Amino acid sequence: METTHKLGLIGRNISYSFSKKYFENKFRKKKLTDFSYDIFDVQNIDEIEKIFSDPTISGLNVTIPYKEAIISYLDDLSDEARAIGAVNCILFENGKKTGYNTDAYGFEKTLIAHKKHHHQSALVLGNGGAAKAVKYILNKHQIPFQTVSRKSEINFENLNTDIVSQNKLIIQCTPVGTFPNTEDCLNFPFEALTEQHLVIDLIYNPECSKFLLSAAEKGAKTVNGFYMLEQQAEKAWEIWSFQKK
């Protein structure tokens, strides 16, 4: 049967992506022969105009580095996406392109599954689109946090053991250490970590980043980004399925 519902992923250098296999498995299980999922690996945001002009596209995922830049190309945003300032899911319906943020949903599910009572405050490593979704959920759950990024007041040069000791929840939101650059790792005072710390790395490939390995060596509880990825993908599917009921 001819494809009538085309889905896909927009990003840069994303041949390793989980999404294509995940959704193609879903199509097989549900016997949806009129669906396809493509990878749109674009080097420049301007190239998305051509992708958007395809009338057969029903929905898209968006990943690094376009989660923020893509907003100006959309017609509307969900309340959550507007509050976060980043989009990772687009619904095409009745000629209108609406941006959503399902990263927030995925991270919230991960946080709830692993957070303990002593995880009272957090350090968010990074300041991109994924970090924005994480901060939105931390605010929702009234967990105070500090941002650590190259340009923030606390950065990877001055982050010290005292700050890490005081914040028992660490969320790594940068792409540093992602396949194929698996030997890369943020400059971080791992010696300050204890078994009281929960360290979440949003990276899912590799399964255990160098950052998580270093944290685990100090006894910290470690979680990768795979569950978050699955949950945000399911939420995206739910959004795209609204038009097909």
Do 126 and 79 share a structural domain?
Answer: no
DSSP string, 166-197: H--EEEE-S-TT-TT-TT------GGG--TT-
In a domain, 237, yes or no: no
In a domain, 232, yes or no: no
Q: Do 182 and 206 form a contact (C-beta atoms < 8 A)?
A: yes
Active site residues: 67
Q: What is the pLDDT of residues 187-231, one digit of tens each?
A: 999 999 999 999 999 999 999 999 999 999 999 999 999 999 999
The CATH number covering residue 79 comes to: 3.40.50.10860
Instruction: Collect all residues with Cβ–Cβ distance below 8 Å to 160 and sequence separation of at least 6.
Output: 189, 192
Do 210 and 167 share a structural domain?
Answer: yes
Q: Span 30-59, mean pLDDT?
A: 93
- Quote the pTM value: 0.93
Other Cβ atoms less than 10 A from the Cβ of 55: the count is: 8
Q: Is the pLDDT of residue 245 over 50?
A: no
Do 142 and 68 share a structural domain?
Answer: no
Do 113 and 84 share a structural domain?
Answer: no
Q: Do 60 and 7 form a contact (C-beta atoms < 8 A)?
A: yes
Q: Are strands 198-201 and 169-172 parallel, antiparallel or unpaired?
A: parallel
The position carrying tokens 């993908």 is 233
Q: Span 91-103, mean pLDDT?
A: 96
**69 alpha-carbon distance from chain centroid:** 15
Q: What is the pLDDT of residues 67-91, one digit of tens each?
A: 999 999 999 999 999 999 999 999 9
DSSP β-bridge partners for residue 73: none
C-alpha to C-alpha distance for 102 and 124, rounded to whole angstroms: 18
Q: Do 233 and 23 form a contact (C-beta atoms < 8 A)?
A: yes
The position carrying tokens 């301007």 is 46
